[in-house]
Structure 1
Amino acid sequence: MEAILTCLKDYGALLGSIVAVILTSILVMQRNKLKRNETIVTESLMEASGSLFFSIKSILNKVRVTDITEELKDFFDKYSKDHNALVKLKDRHIIKRFVELEELYYVYLSEKNSENLDRLMTKFIILKDNIEQVFYTEHKVVNKEIRWYLIVESKKNIWFRMLFRGYRYFSHTVIFAAFLDIIMVYLTITDRLSEEYRLKGIYYLVFSFSQFISILLGFVLFVNFMIHIITEDEKDNWGTKFCRFIIPKRLVQRYPFLRRFTEGDKEVNSEKRAIKEYEEKYKEWINRERR
Protein backbone atom coordinates (compact mmCIF):
# COMPACT_ATOMS: atom_id res chain seq x y z
CA MET A 1 0.00 0.00 0.00
CA GLU A 2 2.79 2.38 0.89
CA ALA A 3 4.52 1.55 -2.40
CA ILE A 4 1.34 2.42 -4.32
CA LEU A 5 0.97 5.71 -2.47
CA THR A 6 4.62 6.54 -3.08
CA CYS A 7 4.23 5.75 -6.77
CA LEU A 8 1.14 7.94 -7.00
CA LYS A 9 2.96 10.74 -5.22
CA ASP A 10 5.98 10.54 -7.52
CA TYR A 11 4.23 9.90 -10.81
CA GLY A 12 0.72 11.22 -10.11
CA ALA A 13 1.11 14.26 -12.36
CA LEU A 14 2.41 12.14 -15.22
CA LEU A 15 -0.35 9.55 -14.83
CA GLY A 16 -2.95 12.30 -14.66
CA SER A 17 -1.64 13.80 -17.90
CA ILE A 18 -1.71 10.41 -19.63
CA VAL A 19 -5.29 9.75 -18.49
CA ALA A 20 -6.35 13.24 -19.64
CA VAL A 21 -4.81 12.69 -23.08
CA ILE A 22 -6.50 9.29 -23.43
CA LEU A 23 -9.91 10.64 -22.40
CA THR A 24 -9.55 13.62 -24.75
CA SER A 25 -8.66 11.30 -27.64
CA ILE A 26 -11.67 9.09 -26.91
CA LEU A 27 -14.02 12.10 -26.77
CA VAL A 28 -12.63 13.52 -30.04
CA MET A 29 -13.03 10.14 -31.80
CA GLN A 30 -16.59 9.80 -30.48
CA ARG A 31 -17.42 13.32 -31.63
CA ASN A 32 -16.05 12.67 -35.13
CA LYS A 33 -17.94 9.38 -35.26
CA LEU A 34 -21.19 11.11 -34.29
CA LYS A 35 -20.69 13.79 -36.94
CA ARG A 36 -19.99 11.14 -39.57
CA ASN A 37 -23.10 9.17 -38.59
CA GLU A 38 -25.25 12.31 -38.59
CA THR A 39 -24.04 13.08 -42.12
CA ILE A 40 -24.93 9.55 -43.24
CA VAL A 41 -28.40 9.74 -41.66
CA THR A 42 -29.07 13.19 -43.16
CA GLU A 43 -28.08 11.94 -46.60
CA SER A 44 -30.32 8.89 -46.20
CA LEU A 45 -33.26 11.03 -45.09
CA MET A 46 -32.97 13.48 -47.97
CA GLU A 47 -32.05 11.10 -50.79
CA ALA A 48 -33.28 7.66 -49.70
CA SER A 49 -36.00 7.12 -47.10
CA GLY A 50 -37.75 10.42 -47.88
CA SER A 51 -37.99 9.95 -51.64
CA LEU A 52 -38.91 6.27 -51.31
CA PHE A 53 -41.58 6.91 -48.70
CA PHE A 54 -43.34 9.68 -50.64
CA SER A 55 -43.09 7.77 -53.92
CA ILE A 56 -44.76 4.75 -52.37
CA LYS A 57 -47.43 6.88 -50.68
CA SER A 58 -48.19 8.50 -54.04
CA ILE A 59 -48.78 5.09 -55.60
CA LEU A 60 -50.97 3.85 -52.76
CA ASN A 61 -53.09 7.00 -52.93
CA LYS A 62 -54.18 6.11 -56.46
CA VAL A 63 -57.66 4.64 -56.88
CA ARG A 64 -57.79 3.18 -60.38
CA VAL A 65 -55.81 0.04 -61.23
CA THR A 66 -54.50 1.61 -64.44
CA ASP A 67 -53.06 4.55 -62.49
CA ILE A 68 -51.49 2.18 -59.97
CA THR A 69 -49.84 0.06 -62.65
CA GLU A 70 -48.46 3.14 -64.42
CA GLU A 71 -47.03 4.46 -61.17
CA LEU A 72 -45.58 1.04 -60.35
CA LYS A 73 -43.86 0.98 -63.74
CA ASP A 74 -42.26 4.38 -63.10
CA PHE A 75 -41.28 3.32 -59.58
CA PHE A 76 -39.51 0.12 -60.61
CA ASP A 77 -37.96 1.74 -63.69
CA LYS A 78 -36.41 4.30 -61.39
CA TYR A 79 -35.25 2.21 -58.43
CA SER A 80 -34.39 -1.00 -60.29
CA LYS A 81 -31.86 0.84 -62.42
CA ASP A 82 -30.52 3.05 -59.67
CA HIS A 83 -30.10 1.31 -56.30
CA ASN A 84 -28.33 4.22 -54.58
CA ALA A 85 -31.42 5.20 -52.58
CA LEU A 86 -31.89 1.66 -51.30
CA VAL A 87 -28.22 1.22 -50.46
CA LYS A 88 -28.14 4.54 -48.57
CA LEU A 89 -30.85 3.25 -46.26
CA LYS A 90 -28.24 0.93 -44.69
CA ASP A 91 -31.04 -1.57 -43.97
CA ARG A 92 -30.46 -5.07 -45.35
CA HIS A 93 -34.01 -6.09 -44.44
CA ILE A 94 -35.55 -3.38 -46.65
CA ILE A 95 -33.19 -4.18 -49.54
CA LYS A 96 -34.22 -7.83 -49.33
CA ARG A 97 -37.87 -6.78 -49.21
CA PHE A 98 -37.42 -4.65 -52.34
CA VAL A 99 -35.79 -7.53 -54.24
CA GLU A 100 -38.72 -9.82 -53.36
CA LEU A 101 -41.18 -7.10 -54.38
CA GLU A 102 -39.40 -6.60 -57.70
CA GLU A 103 -39.73 -10.32 -58.46
CA LEU A 104 -43.47 -10.17 -57.70
CA TYR A 105 -43.80 -7.15 -59.99
CA TYR A 106 -42.38 -9.03 -62.97
CA VAL A 107 -44.59 -11.98 -62.15
CA TYR A 108 -47.55 -9.60 -62.30
CA LEU A 109 -46.36 -8.20 -65.64
CA SER A 110 -46.19 -11.70 -67.09
CA GLU A 111 -49.72 -12.48 -65.93
CA LYS A 112 -51.88 -9.53 -64.98
CA ASN A 113 -54.59 -10.93 -62.78
CA SER A 114 -56.14 -9.88 -59.49
CA GLU A 115 -54.35 -12.58 -57.50
CA ASN A 116 -50.87 -11.44 -58.57
CA LEU A 117 -51.84 -7.82 -58.05
CA ASP A 118 -53.08 -8.54 -54.53
CA ARG A 119 -49.82 -10.30 -53.63
CA LEU A 120 -47.81 -7.47 -55.14
CA MET A 121 -49.71 -4.72 -53.33
CA THR A 122 -49.60 -6.58 -50.01
CA LYS A 123 -45.82 -6.79 -50.19
CA PHE A 124 -45.73 -3.21 -51.39
CA ILE A 125 -47.59 -2.03 -48.28
CA ILE A 126 -45.21 -4.02 -46.09
CA LEU A 127 -42.29 -2.24 -47.77
CA LYS A 128 -44.04 1.07 -47.19
CA ASP A 129 -44.40 0.35 -43.49
CA ASN A 130 -40.71 -0.60 -43.20
CA ILE A 131 -39.54 2.54 -45.01
CA GLU A 132 -41.98 4.73 -43.09
CA GLN A 133 -40.49 3.56 -39.81
CA VAL A 134 -36.96 4.33 -41.05
CA PHE A 135 -38.05 7.71 -42.43
CA TYR A 136 -39.58 8.96 -39.17
CA THR A 137 -36.68 7.61 -37.12
CA GLU A 138 -34.15 9.40 -39.31
CA HIS A 139 -36.26 12.54 -39.31
CA LYS A 140 -36.29 12.50 -35.51
CA VAL A 141 -32.51 12.02 -35.33
CA VAL A 142 -31.70 14.75 -37.85
CA ASN A 143 -34.13 17.28 -36.38
CA LYS A 144 -33.84 16.42 -32.69
CA GLU A 145 -32.29 19.82 -31.86
CA ILE A 146 -34.49 21.97 -34.08
CA ARG A 147 -37.53 22.37 -31.83
CA TRP A 148 -35.50 23.44 -28.81
CA TYR A 149 -33.41 25.75 -31.03
CA LEU A 150 -36.60 27.47 -32.22
CA ILE A 151 -37.86 27.83 -28.65
CA VAL A 152 -34.58 29.43 -27.50
CA GLU A 153 -33.88 31.65 -30.50
CA SER A 154 -37.45 32.96 -30.64
CA LYS A 155 -36.71 34.93 -27.44
CA LYS A 156 -35.53 38.45 -28.21
CA ASN A 157 -33.83 39.00 -24.87
CA ILE A 158 -30.35 37.49 -24.84
CA TRP A 159 -30.56 36.72 -21.11
CA PHE A 160 -33.70 34.66 -21.62
CA ARG A 161 -31.95 32.71 -24.38
CA MET A 162 -29.01 32.03 -22.05
CA LEU A 163 -31.44 31.00 -19.29
CA PHE A 164 -33.20 28.52 -21.59
CA ARG A 165 -29.90 27.02 -22.75
CA GLY A 166 -28.76 26.57 -19.16
CA TYR A 167 -32.13 25.16 -18.11
CA ARG A 168 -31.93 22.45 -20.77
CA TYR A 169 -28.68 21.07 -19.36
CA PHE A 170 -30.10 21.41 -15.86
CA SER A 171 -33.24 19.51 -16.86
CA HIS A 172 -31.33 16.64 -18.45
CA THR A 173 -29.01 16.43 -15.43
CA VAL A 174 -31.91 16.24 -12.97
CA ILE A 175 -33.72 13.56 -14.96
CA PHE A 176 -30.52 11.50 -15.22
CA ALA A 177 -29.90 11.92 -11.48
CA ALA A 178 -33.47 10.74 -10.81
CA PHE A 179 -32.76 7.48 -12.66
CA LEU A 180 -29.60 7.00 -10.63
CA ASP A 181 -31.56 7.69 -7.46
CA ILE A 182 -34.10 5.01 -8.36
CA ILE A 183 -31.27 2.50 -8.68
CA MET A 184 -29.78 3.53 -5.32
CA VAL A 185 -33.16 3.35 -3.58
CA TYR A 186 -33.72 -0.12 -5.04
CA LEU A 187 -30.31 -1.29 -3.79
CA THR A 188 -30.83 0.10 -0.29
CA ILE A 189 -34.32 -1.41 0.02
CA THR A 190 -32.99 -4.76 -1.20
CA ASP A 191 -30.13 -4.51 1.27
CA ARG A 192 -32.49 -3.85 4.19
CA LEU A 193 -34.93 -6.60 3.24
CA SER A 194 -32.11 -9.11 2.93
CA GLU A 195 -30.90 -8.04 6.40
CA GLU A 196 -27.31 -7.95 5.20
CA TYR A 197 -26.93 -4.21 5.93
CA ARG A 198 -23.88 -3.82 3.71
CA LEU A 199 -25.07 -0.37 2.65
CA LYS A 200 -26.21 0.74 6.07
CA GLY A 201 -23.70 3.59 6.12
CA ILE A 202 -25.35 5.32 3.16
CA TYR A 203 -29.02 4.83 4.09
CA TYR A 204 -29.39 8.38 5.36
CA LEU A 205 -27.42 9.79 2.42
CA VAL A 206 -29.64 8.01 -0.12
CA PHE A 207 -32.79 9.12 1.73
CA SER A 208 -31.65 12.76 1.80
CA PHE A 209 -30.62 12.67 -1.85
CA SER A 210 -33.99 11.17 -2.81
CA GLN A 211 -35.85 13.99 -1.10
CA PHE A 212 -33.67 16.61 -2.75
CA ILE A 213 -33.90 15.10 -6.24
CA SER A 214 -37.67 14.62 -5.89
CA ILE A 215 -38.12 18.35 -5.33
CA LEU A 216 -35.92 19.20 -8.33
CA LEU A 217 -37.65 16.60 -10.50
CA GLY A 218 -41.07 18.01 -9.62
CA PHE A 219 -39.89 21.48 -10.62
CA VAL A 220 -38.39 20.23 -13.89
CA LEU A 221 -41.48 18.25 -14.85
CA PHE A 222 -43.68 21.26 -14.16
CA VAL A 223 -41.52 23.59 -16.28
CA ASN A 224 -41.29 21.03 -19.11
CA PHE A 225 -45.05 20.65 -19.04
CA MET A 226 -45.53 24.41 -19.25
CA ILE A 227 -43.12 24.61 -22.20
CA HIS A 228 -45.08 21.78 -23.84
CA ILE A 229 -48.35 23.69 -23.38
CA ILE A 230 -47.02 27.09 -24.46
CA THR A 231 -45.28 25.83 -27.59
CA GLU A 232 -48.15 23.49 -28.54
CA ASP A 233 -45.93 20.56 -29.28
CA GLU A 234 -47.20 18.72 -32.35
CA LYS A 235 -46.27 15.31 -31.04
CA ASP A 236 -49.09 13.03 -30.00
CA ASN A 237 -49.34 12.38 -26.30
CA TRP A 238 -49.83 8.88 -24.95
CA GLY A 239 -53.53 9.48 -24.27
CA THR A 240 -54.18 10.38 -27.92
CA LYS A 241 -52.22 7.36 -29.16
CA PHE A 242 -54.13 5.06 -26.82
CA CYS A 243 -57.52 6.44 -27.94
CA ARG A 244 -56.52 6.10 -31.57
CA PHE A 245 -55.60 2.48 -30.90
CA ILE A 246 -58.85 1.48 -29.17
CA ILE A 247 -61.38 3.61 -31.13
CA PRO A 248 -62.10 2.30 -34.67
CA LYS A 249 -61.85 4.78 -37.56
CA ARG A 250 -65.38 3.96 -38.69
CA LEU A 251 -66.71 4.97 -35.29
CA VAL A 252 -64.79 8.26 -35.47
CA GLN A 253 -66.22 8.94 -38.94
CA ARG A 254 -69.73 8.29 -37.66
CA TYR A 255 -69.30 10.37 -34.51
CA PRO A 256 -66.96 13.30 -35.32
CA PHE A 257 -66.75 14.46 -31.69
CA LEU A 258 -64.51 11.44 -31.02
CA ARG A 259 -61.78 13.10 -33.11
CA ARG A 260 -60.79 15.19 -30.12
CA PHE A 261 -59.78 11.94 -28.41
CA THR A 262 -58.03 10.31 -31.39
CA GLU A 263 -56.41 13.40 -32.94
CA GLY A 264 -56.25 15.93 -30.13
CA ASP A 265 -57.69 19.40 -29.63
CA LYS A 266 -54.96 21.07 -31.66
CA GLU A 267 -55.71 19.10 -34.82
CA VAL A 268 -59.47 19.64 -34.55
CA ASN A 269 -59.12 23.35 -33.82
CA SER A 270 -56.65 23.79 -36.69
CA GLU A 271 -59.11 22.18 -39.09
CA LYS A 272 -61.94 24.44 -37.88
CA ARG A 273 -59.77 27.53 -38.41
CA ALA A 274 -58.79 26.28 -41.87
CA ILE A 275 -62.44 25.70 -42.87
CA LYS A 276 -63.37 29.17 -41.66
CA GLU A 277 -60.48 30.81 -43.51
CA TYR A 278 -61.29 28.84 -46.67
CA GLU A 279 -64.95 29.91 -46.59
CA GLU A 280 -64.12 33.56 -45.88
CA LYS A 281 -61.21 34.06 -48.30
CA TYR A 282 -61.09 31.38 -50.98
CA LYS A 283 -64.38 29.55 -51.46
CA GLU A 284 -66.21 32.42 -53.14
CA TRP A 285 -63.26 33.09 -55.45
CA ILE A 286 -62.96 29.41 -56.45
CA ASN A 287 -66.69 29.13 -57.15
CA ARG A 288 -66.53 32.28 -59.26
CA GLU A 289 -63.63 30.84 -61.28
CA ARG A 290 -65.60 27.64 -61.90
CA ARG A 291 -68.45 29.63 -63.39
Structure 2
Amino acid sequence: MISLGSRVEAALAAGRPVVALESTIISHGLPRPDNLRVAREIEETVEVAGAVPATIGMIGGRLVVGLTDAEIEHLATADGVVKLSVRDLAPASMRKADGATTVAATAMLAARAGIAVFATGGLGGVHRDAPYDESADLFALASAPIAVVCAGVKSILDVGATLERLETLGIAVLGYRTDRFPGFYLRDSGFGLDWSAETPAEVAAVLRARVSDAAVLVANPLPLDEQIDPALHDRVLAEGMAGLARGRITGKDVTPYLLAHFHAATGGASLAANIRIILRNAELGARIAAALA
Protein backbone atom coordinates (compact mmCIF):
# COMPACT_ATOMS: atom_id res chain seq x y z
CA MET A 1 0.00 0.00 0.00
CA ILE A 2 1.42 3.35 -1.09
CA SER A 3 0.31 6.57 0.62
CA LEU A 4 0.62 9.89 -1.17
CA GLY A 5 1.56 13.00 0.76
CA SER A 6 -1.14 15.65 0.51
CA ARG A 7 0.94 18.08 -1.59
CA VAL A 8 2.02 15.35 -4.00
CA GLU A 9 -1.49 13.97 -4.32
CA ALA A 10 -2.87 17.42 -5.14
CA ALA A 11 -0.09 18.13 -7.63
CA LEU A 12 -0.55 14.85 -9.48
CA ALA A 13 -4.32 15.33 -9.62
CA ALA A 14 -3.84 18.81 -11.09
CA GLY A 15 -1.17 17.69 -13.59
CA ARG A 16 1.51 19.84 -11.99
CA PRO A 17 5.19 18.79 -12.22
CA VAL A 18 6.47 16.47 -9.49
CA VAL A 19 10.00 15.19 -8.89
CA ALA A 20 10.65 12.01 -6.91
CA LEU A 21 13.58 11.97 -4.47
CA GLU A 22 15.19 9.05 -2.67
CA SER A 23 15.60 8.89 1.10
CA THR A 24 18.69 6.66 1.37
CA ILE A 25 20.86 9.73 0.85
CA ILE A 26 19.23 11.14 4.01
CA SER A 27 19.65 8.14 6.30
CA HIS A 28 22.73 6.41 4.87
CA GLY A 29 24.40 8.63 2.28
CA LEU A 30 25.31 11.76 4.24
CA PRO A 31 26.63 12.25 7.78
CA ARG A 32 24.60 13.91 10.50
CA PRO A 33 23.71 16.77 10.79
CA ASP A 34 24.47 17.56 7.13
CA ASN A 35 21.92 14.99 6.01
CA LEU A 36 18.86 16.87 7.28
CA ARG A 37 20.10 20.23 6.04
CA VAL A 38 20.83 18.86 2.59
CA ALA A 39 17.52 16.97 2.42
CA ARG A 40 15.71 20.25 2.98
CA GLU A 41 17.92 22.03 0.44
CA ILE A 42 17.09 19.38 -2.14
CA GLU A 43 13.36 19.85 -1.66
CA GLU A 44 13.73 23.63 -1.74
CA THR A 45 15.76 23.41 -4.97
CA VAL A 46 12.97 21.43 -6.63
CA GLU A 47 10.38 23.95 -5.49
CA VAL A 48 12.37 26.98 -6.67
CA ALA A 49 12.80 25.34 -10.08
CA GLY A 50 9.03 24.95 -10.45
CA ALA A 51 8.06 21.46 -9.28
CA VAL A 52 6.72 19.70 -6.19
CA PRO A 53 9.24 17.49 -4.35
CA ALA A 54 8.20 13.94 -3.47
CA THR A 55 10.73 12.38 -1.11
CA ILE A 56 9.89 8.69 -0.75
CA GLY A 57 10.39 6.49 2.32
CA MET A 58 8.77 4.17 4.84
CA ILE A 59 7.39 5.31 8.19
CA GLY A 60 6.24 2.60 10.60
CA GLY A 61 5.79 0.13 7.76
CA ARG A 62 3.84 2.60 5.61
CA LEU A 63 5.28 3.57 2.23
CA VAL A 64 4.94 7.30 1.66
CA VAL A 65 5.42 9.16 -1.62
CA GLY A 66 5.87 12.72 -0.45
CA LEU A 67 7.20 12.66 3.11
CA THR A 68 6.42 15.61 5.36
CA ASP A 69 9.26 17.66 6.81
CA ALA A 70 8.74 15.97 10.17
CA GLU A 71 8.98 12.54 8.54
CA ILE A 72 12.16 13.53 6.70
CA GLU A 73 13.62 14.75 9.99
CA HIS A 74 12.71 11.43 11.59
CA LEU A 75 14.55 9.43 8.90
CA ALA A 76 17.52 11.78 9.21
CA THR A 77 17.87 11.52 12.97
CA ALA A 78 16.42 8.16 14.07
CA ASP A 79 18.59 5.11 14.71
CA GLY A 80 17.75 1.81 13.07
CA VAL A 81 16.41 3.18 9.79
CA VAL A 82 16.56 0.29 7.31
CA LYS A 83 17.96 0.66 3.79
CA LEU A 84 15.21 -0.58 1.47
CA SER A 85 15.66 -1.95 -2.01
CA VAL A 86 12.70 -3.42 -3.90
CA ARG A 87 13.05 -6.86 -2.33
CA ASP A 88 12.97 -5.40 1.19
CA LEU A 89 9.72 -3.44 0.96
CA ALA A 90 7.26 -6.18 1.91
CA PRO A 91 9.23 -7.66 4.86
CA ALA A 92 9.94 -4.17 6.21
CA SER A 93 6.26 -3.28 5.95
CA MET A 94 5.37 -6.43 7.89
CA ARG A 95 7.83 -5.40 10.61
CA LYS A 96 6.43 -1.83 10.63
CA ALA A 97 9.94 -0.55 10.06
CA ASP A 98 11.21 2.91 9.35
CA GLY A 99 13.05 2.72 6.05
CA ALA A 100 14.86 4.73 3.42
CA THR A 101 14.40 3.78 -0.22
CA THR A 102 17.29 3.15 -2.62
CA VAL A 103 17.35 4.23 -6.27
CA ALA A 104 15.72 0.94 -7.26
CA ALA A 105 12.86 1.17 -4.77
CA THR A 106 12.34 4.90 -5.28
CA ALA A 107 12.13 4.56 -9.07
CA MET A 108 9.64 1.72 -8.85
CA LEU A 109 7.42 3.44 -6.28
CA ALA A 110 7.53 6.79 -8.08
CA ALA A 111 6.54 5.20 -11.38
CA ARG A 112 3.64 3.39 -9.71
CA ALA A 113 2.49 6.67 -8.21
CA GLY A 114 2.45 8.29 -11.64
CA ILE A 115 5.55 10.48 -11.21
CA ALA A 116 7.52 10.96 -14.43
CA VAL A 117 10.86 12.29 -13.14
CA PHE A 118 13.23 11.14 -10.40
CA ALA A 119 16.39 13.02 -9.39
CA THR A 120 19.22 11.28 -7.55
CA GLY A 121 23.01 11.40 -7.21
CA GLY A 122 24.59 8.41 -8.93
CA LEU A 123 23.36 4.95 -9.83
CA GLY A 124 24.59 1.59 -8.70
CA GLY A 125 26.03 -0.72 -11.32
CA VAL A 126 28.43 -3.58 -11.96
CA HIS A 127 31.21 -3.84 -9.38
CA ARG A 128 34.87 -3.86 -10.36
CA ASP A 129 36.47 -7.33 -10.33
CA ALA A 130 33.09 -8.83 -9.47
CA PRO A 131 30.90 -9.07 -12.60
CA TYR A 132 28.40 -11.24 -10.75
CA ASP A 133 27.80 -8.39 -8.27
CA GLU A 134 25.33 -5.99 -9.86
CA SER A 135 23.15 -3.35 -8.27
CA ALA A 136 19.42 -3.93 -8.16
CA ASP A 137 19.12 -0.40 -9.57
CA LEU A 138 19.80 -1.67 -13.09
CA PHE A 139 17.06 -4.28 -13.11
CA ALA A 140 14.50 -2.05 -11.41
CA LEU A 141 15.05 0.66 -14.03
CA ALA A 142 14.42 -1.84 -16.81
CA SER A 143 10.74 -1.86 -15.84
CA ALA A 144 10.24 1.64 -14.40
CA PRO A 145 8.94 4.12 -17.02
CA ILE A 146 10.54 7.18 -15.46
CA ALA A 147 13.29 9.69 -16.25
CA VAL A 148 16.19 9.36 -13.83
CA VAL A 149 18.44 12.42 -13.56
CA CYS A 150 21.84 11.34 -12.24
CA ALA A 151 25.57 11.99 -12.49
CA GLY A 152 26.14 8.65 -14.19
CA VAL A 153 27.31 5.79 -12.02
CA LYS A 154 29.71 5.99 -9.13
CA SER A 155 33.29 5.97 -10.40
CA ILE A 156 34.13 3.19 -7.95
CA LEU A 157 32.19 0.81 -10.23
CA ASP A 158 33.01 -0.86 -13.54
CA VAL A 159 31.57 1.86 -15.76
CA GLY A 160 32.05 0.06 -19.07
CA ALA A 161 30.34 -3.11 -17.86
CA THR A 162 27.52 -1.05 -16.38
CA LEU A 163 26.90 0.72 -19.69
CA GLU A 164 26.82 -2.65 -21.45
CA ARG A 165 24.24 -3.89 -18.95
CA LEU A 166 22.12 -0.76 -19.43
CA GLU A 167 22.15 -1.43 -23.17
CA THR A 168 21.15 -5.06 -22.65
CA LEU A 169 18.25 -4.00 -20.44
CA GLY A 170 16.99 -1.46 -22.97
CA ILE A 171 17.61 1.57 -20.76
CA ALA A 172 18.31 4.67 -22.84
CA VAL A 173 21.06 7.04 -21.68
CA LEU A 174 21.02 10.73 -22.61
CA GLY A 175 23.95 12.98 -21.85
CA TYR A 176 22.74 16.39 -20.75
CA ARG A 177 24.78 18.88 -22.79
CA THR A 178 27.51 16.27 -23.16
CA ASP A 179 28.35 13.27 -25.32
CA ARG A 180 30.46 11.72 -22.54
CA PHE A 181 29.18 9.54 -19.72
CA PRO A 182 29.96 11.12 -16.32
CA GLY A 183 31.61 9.17 -13.53
CA PHE A 184 29.90 10.80 -10.54
CA TYR A 185 32.87 12.61 -8.96
CA LEU A 186 34.39 12.97 -12.45
CA ARG A 187 32.89 14.86 -15.37
CA ASP A 188 34.02 12.20 -17.85
CA SER A 189 34.23 8.49 -17.01
CA GLY A 190 36.13 7.79 -20.22
CA PHE A 191 33.11 6.45 -22.13
CA GLY A 192 31.12 8.15 -24.86
CA LEU A 193 27.36 8.30 -25.38
CA ASP A 194 25.28 7.89 -28.53
CA TRP A 195 22.62 10.41 -27.55
CA SER A 196 22.46 13.78 -25.83
CA ALA A 197 19.97 16.55 -25.11
CA GLU A 198 20.60 20.27 -24.83
CA THR A 199 17.47 21.45 -23.01
CA PRO A 200 14.81 20.17 -20.59
CA ALA A 201 12.34 20.43 -23.49
CA GLU A 202 14.42 18.01 -25.55
CA VAL A 203 14.50 15.54 -22.67
CA ALA A 204 10.71 15.89 -22.34
CA ALA A 205 10.33 15.17 -26.06
CA VAL A 206 12.33 11.96 -25.65
CA LEU A 207 10.11 10.91 -22.76
CA ARG A 208 6.95 11.55 -24.78
CA ALA A 209 8.34 9.47 -27.66
CA ARG A 210 9.26 6.49 -25.47
CA VAL A 211 7.54 3.23 -26.40
CA SER A 212 9.00 0.89 -23.75
CA ASP A 213 8.55 0.65 -19.99
CA ALA A 214 12.27 1.09 -19.32
CA ALA A 215 13.66 4.20 -17.65
CA VAL A 216 15.53 6.94 -19.48
CA LEU A 217 18.75 8.02 -17.75
CA VAL A 218 19.64 11.69 -18.03
CA ALA A 219 23.35 11.90 -17.26
CA ASN A 220 24.12 15.35 -15.85
CA PRO A 221 27.87 15.85 -15.26
CA LEU A 222 29.50 18.20 -12.80
CA PRO A 223 31.13 21.28 -14.36
CA LEU A 224 34.84 20.81 -14.98
CA ASP A 225 35.82 23.16 -12.16
CA GLU A 226 33.63 21.31 -9.64
CA GLN A 227 34.79 17.74 -10.18
CA ILE A 228 37.33 16.05 -7.92
CA ASP A 229 40.87 16.33 -9.25
CA PRO A 230 41.23 13.25 -11.49
CA ALA A 231 44.74 12.43 -10.23
CA LEU A 232 43.54 12.56 -6.62
CA HIS A 233 40.50 10.48 -7.56
CA ASP A 234 42.56 7.75 -9.20
CA ARG A 235 45.02 7.56 -6.30
CA VAL A 236 42.27 7.36 -3.68
CA LEU A 237 40.37 4.75 -5.69
CA ALA A 238 43.49 2.57 -6.01
CA GLU A 239 44.05 2.82 -2.25
CA GLY A 240 40.42 1.93 -1.62
CA MET A 241 40.53 -1.12 -3.88
CA ALA A 242 43.65 -2.31 -2.08
CA GLY A 243 41.84 -1.84 1.23
CA LEU A 244 38.97 -3.99 0.00
CA ALA A 245 41.38 -6.80 -0.82
CA ARG A 246 43.18 -6.54 2.53
CA GLY A 247 39.96 -6.54 4.48
CA ARG A 248 38.27 -9.15 2.28
CA ILE A 249 35.31 -6.82 1.98
CA THR A 250 32.67 -8.00 -0.50
CA GLY A 251 29.01 -7.66 -1.46
CA LYS A 252 26.87 -4.88 -0.08
CA ASP A 253 29.71 -3.65 2.15
CA VAL A 254 31.89 -2.60 -0.81
CA THR A 255 30.18 0.67 -1.76
CA PRO A 256 29.83 2.05 1.81
CA TYR A 257 33.49 1.22 2.47
CA LEU A 258 34.72 2.95 -0.67
CA LEU A 259 32.53 6.03 -0.20
CA ALA A 260 33.74 6.40 3.40
CA HIS A 261 37.32 5.97 2.23
CA PHE A 262 36.83 8.68 -0.40
CA HIS A 263 35.40 11.07 2.18
CA ALA A 264 38.32 10.55 4.56
CA ALA A 265 41.09 10.46 1.95
CA THR A 266 39.91 13.55 0.06
CA GLY A 267 39.46 15.66 3.17
CA GLY A 268 35.73 15.96 2.58
CA ALA A 269 36.03 16.97 -1.09
CA SER A 270 34.05 13.93 -2.19
CA LEU A 271 31.22 14.78 0.22
CA ALA A 272 31.09 18.35 -1.10
CA ALA A 273 30.97 17.01 -4.67
CA ASN A 274 28.21 14.58 -3.69
CA ILE A 275 26.07 17.45 -2.36
CA ARG A 276 26.67 19.58 -5.46
CA ILE A 277 25.67 16.63 -7.64
CA ILE A 278 22.31 16.00 -5.99
CA LEU A 279 21.38 19.70 -5.86
CA ARG A 280 22.22 20.14 -9.56
CA ASN A 281 20.24 17.03 -10.45
CA ALA A 282 17.26 18.14 -8.36
CA GLU A 283 17.15 21.45 -10.24
CA LEU A 284 17.43 19.79 -13.65
CA GLY A 285 14.83 17.19 -12.69
CA ALA A 286 12.37 19.95 -11.78
CA ARG A 287 12.96 21.75 -15.07
CA ILE A 288 12.41 18.52 -17.01
CA ALA A 289 9.23 17.79 -15.06
CA ALA A 290 7.96 21.32 -15.77
CA ALA A 291 8.73 20.91 -19.49
CA LEU A 292 6.96 17.56 -19.53
CA ALA A 293 3.89 18.92 -17.71
Instruction: State the TM-score bracket (shorter-chain normalisation).
Output: under 0.3
> More strand by proportion, 1 or 2?
2
| Higher Cα Rg, which structure | 1
Normalised by the length of structure 2, the TM-score is 0.23
Q: Which has the higher contact order (CA 8 A, sep 6+)?
A: 2
Normalised by the length of structure 1, the TM-score is 0.23
> More helix by proportion, 1 or 2?
1
